Structure 1
């Protein structure tokens, strides 16, 4: 398998077209979730918080506005270069792979909006969880907000066309061999582009197995951004609190 296919996320998340396609995401809903989860965790004032796989830093900025000392980390050099314009005394950004533990320890680590499960090598997912655990303070908490794969697969839209900024994105989705794929093909400035997102279709049981291997304690599970109970066939999200 070519390196570009194995590490597709490095190329796609670094691409300006990724941000064009997803520019209309609901950030009001995201901020509601951040409000709810930080209140639930009852974090100390000026808590040290890591936004892991932070993208261009929008959620890191909001966490900082809530009063937290925030580090945003992402594998994409372009994303971090963009985010650095928003840095202040208590908001910093750095390029880092989630498979590597951080030198500093955090009161809370947030991995928002299905930013997990990208690795080709199965062992890397366990490595990432172990790194999260190693980066937490003794009384810190971590949160992974993942898709509910049962509902996603049941409602998969196989083909879709989206026009954004006068670019026509042709999208195909399918589930295969324990992964969910999303192919995005388009043309722009007489160039053809083709990216395929690939995310491991982790169920709650899969996460429980990984967490057991990483000696992580799963404390609570929610099924949406209002922190309602998780229901396997109905919930929009799989939100896990652990330490």
Structure 2
């Protein structure tokens, strides 16, 4: 479970995240505003924006705590179904979605190819024929050159954090050690978390997608419509469900 114990302050910690850009990318990547699954939806920031754009949205996340806060933020006029499930084992929606989006490098928390492929297989099952899969990941350059040895920090009256990153033991992986101090009205509560992320090369993602019944249509970088460069930090994938599955 990610950010266990303080989902209530997650939105404040992520206040500068480019949720609007993710939403714009999703909208521009789809031919129409149909039924979409926001997979690994967290506290629902992108789900809510998609609903405001006219999509019929379902949000799934592994964290019950995150989903509780997501549900509290949903306007009554824009109902969103939020469910706790593992992205590798989505159940109850076979063939129901026009599109599935996995944003905010959530796929990088899966540490093996088997886990990634199980997620792609799971997504394949819930998509309609010709349905679209959209996801973004950290690039190999970011994992190997930007994260290792980096320290990120921020401080204000209510929340402060120190985030240190190191190279992981697996190929193209990174470890993030995070310490947060959250003001409770009388003193600061301390939270310590360690996150591990792993990415793969574009050709490896393409191979995994093909093996799970998807055709890769497009890879872009850093919230642009441009192809990745050797120094791109975030990669965006658009794939389409094929007629038959081949795994």
Calculate the TM-score normalised by the size of structure 2: 0.81
Deviation at 1:15, TM superposition (A): 2.6
Name the residue aligned to 1:58. Answer: 45
* Partner secondary structure for residue 106 of structure 2: coil
SS at match of 2:118: helix
2:155 equivalent to 1:163: yes
- Which residue does 1:173 correspond to in 2? 165
- Structure 2 unaligned regions, length at least 5: 242-247
Which position in structure 2 is the counterpart of 1:154? 145
Give the distance between the partners of 2:166 and 2:142, measured in 1 at CA. 13
Distance 1:227 1:13, change over 3 A: farther
After superposition, the Cα gap between the structure-2 partners of 1:190 and 1:28, relative to the gap in structure 1 and judged at 3 Å, is closer
* In the alignment, structure 1 residue 238 sits paired with structure 2 residue 238: no
Q: Distance in 2 between matches of 1:120 and 1:145?
A: 15
Structure 1 residue aligned with 2:176: 182
SS at match of 1:153: helix
Shift in Å at residue 88 of structure 1? 5.0
> How far off its partner does 1:143 sit?
0.5
1:171, 1:125 → 2: CA distance?
26
Query: What residue in structure 1 maps to residue 80 of structure 2?
Result: 91
Q: 2: distance between equivalents of 1:82 and 1:166?
A: 19
Query: How much has 1:213 moved relative to structure 2?
Result: 2.8
Q: Is the 8 A contact 2:58 2:80 kept in 1?
A: yes
Partners of 1:211 and 1:106 lie apart in 2 by 18
1:97-150 deviation digits (Å, cap 9, x = unpaired): 101134222000001110113235552222111101111100211101112221
In structure 2, the CA distance between the partners of 1:140 and 1:215, relative to structure 1 (3 Å rule), is closer
How many aligned residue pairs are there?
228
Q: RMSD over aligned Cα, in angstroms?
A: 2.3
Q: Residues 36-84 of structure 1, C-alpha deviation per residue, up to 9 Å, x if partnerless?
A: xx233212x4x11101011111111111111111101111111111222
CA contact (8 A) 1:68 1:90 kept: no
Q: 1:215 to 1:11 in 2, by over 3 A?
A: closer
> Please, which of 227, 230, 234 is the counterpart of residue 229 of structure 1?
227
Report the counterpart of residue 67 of structure 1 in structure 2.
Answer: 54
Equivalent residue for 1:115? 106
Task: Give the alignment's TM-score, normalised by structure 1.
Answer: 0.83
- Contact 1:170–1:184 (8 Å) recurs in 2: yes
